[in-house]
Amino acid sequence: MDVLSDAIAAMRTGLPHSSRAVKRAPWGVRFPASEGAGFHVVLQGSAYLLPPGDAAPVRMGPGDVVFLAHGYGHGLADRPGTPLEEARLEPDGSWPTLRHTGPVHDEDTLMLCGAYRLTKARAHPLLTELPPFIHLPARVGAGGRLRAAVDLLGAELADPQPGSDAVVPALLDTLLLYLLRTWWLAERPEGPTGWAGALNDPAVAAALHAIHDEPARGWTVEELGARAGLSRAAFARRFTTLVGQPPLAYLTWWRMTTAGRLLREAGDPLRTVAEQAGYTSEFAFAKAFKREYGVAPGQYRKQSAASAG
């Protein structure tokens, strides 16, 4: 898997969910804080995002997308001063699926909303460094793949067909990746920094791909620098500047993150998990894992199974 896909897969828990809603002014909804991330798309009409904190309201027009990576509470309304009703969530925390079957009038606002369950216990810096919200305005000739994913999701929710239960989660996963790709890989006047810079930097990206492709390999800084086409010192400086930690520190962090995901999602023996995390000794792996997570691998697996149930 590539770095972006890998990072999202490591944080994902459960299935995403979505809804399609038609609103007529005056209307306003307050979404409570959650453990995951969410998005809103205006398909027709307009709306105002009432962001978390003291940020000013953001007007959204047709085709605009907003993404809230950190699960902060926020509001949506036809205008900033409209009173907000609390969103009524399902018992499992998901949003109700709203399927509007009647006509959509010109004065109506048609929206898609969706949410993803993400574990914050081992959040990847790709997500943690994102701002409180991202606004991606519709622009002619820009974000074609993102718009295509939005159109497909909207059509599937408006007119469910056989197989929709499988298609919708897949489209939501696709939409999430396109959202993040559009943000991280977009050209900015000031130039990309942080993880956006890391993904755009050919040398650092090559090293990151090597780590994610073979986390169990006994990488050295020299070998990673060779993959990047740089000297050891030059590579270490550039990697640390963009990623925020030295190459081998990130390698260790990613190995433990991978191990945590395997323990949550797979039933492989601890010996196999240890090998995939780059440890030949199960004892050494258990010691390193407990140092990172505060609990032994077996206990972590039991706790994860209990919380999922």
Number of structural domains (the chain) is 3
106-127: per-residue pLDDT in tens? 788 988 888 888 777 778 888 8
What integer pLDDT is reported at residue 189 of this predicted model? 43
Tell me if 60 is assigned to some domain. Answer: yes
Comparing 205 with 6, the larger pLDDT belongs to 205
* Contact predicate 110/63, CB 8 Å: no
Tell me if 189 is assigned to some domain. Answer: no
Query: 205 and 267: one domain?
Result: no
Structure tokens at 226: 């060779």
Query: 257 and 228: one domain?
Result: no
What integer pLDDT is reported at residue 191 of this predicted model? 54
CATH code of the domain in which 202 resides: 1.10.10
Query: 111 and 202: one domain?
Result: no
Residue linked to tokens 């998901």: 94
8-50: per-residue pLDDT in tens? 887 776 778 888 888 888 999 998 888 788 899 998 899 999 9
Comparing 81 with 191, the larger pLDDT belongs to 81
Closest CA to 183 of 74, 72, 35, 68: 68
Hey, what amino acid is at 94? Answer: S
Query: 143 and 291: one domain?
Result: no
pLDDT of residue 1 exceeding 60, the answer is no
Closest CA to 3 of 210, 194, 178: 210
What integer pLDDT is reported at residue 94 of this predicted model? 58
Query: 20 and 90: one domain?
Result: yes
Comparing 271 with 35, the larger pLDDT belongs to 271
What integer pLDDT is reported at residue 91 of this predicted model? 63
Query: b/e map of 201-233 (b: 16 or more CB within 10 Å)?
Result: bebbbbbbebbbeebeeebebeebbbbbebebe
Query: Average pLDDT of the chain?
Result: 85
139-196: per-residue pLDDT in tens? 755 668 888 888 888 888 888 888 888 888 888 888 888 888 888 766 454 555 678 7
Query: 263 and 232: one domain?
Result: no
CATH code of the domain in which 107 resides: 2.60.120.280
Q: Which of 63-72, 184-193, 297-306 has the lowest mean pLDDT?
A: 184-193
pLDDT of residue 77 exceeding 50, the answer is yes
pLDDT of residue 95 exceeding 70, the answer is no
pTM (two decimals): 0.81
Tell me if 154 is assigned to some domain. Answer: yes
Query: 141 and 274: one domain?
Result: no
For residue 39, the enclosing domain spans 3-184
Query: 204 and 290: one domain?
Result: no
Query: 180 and 203: one domain?
Result: no
Query: 233 and 102: one domain?
Result: no
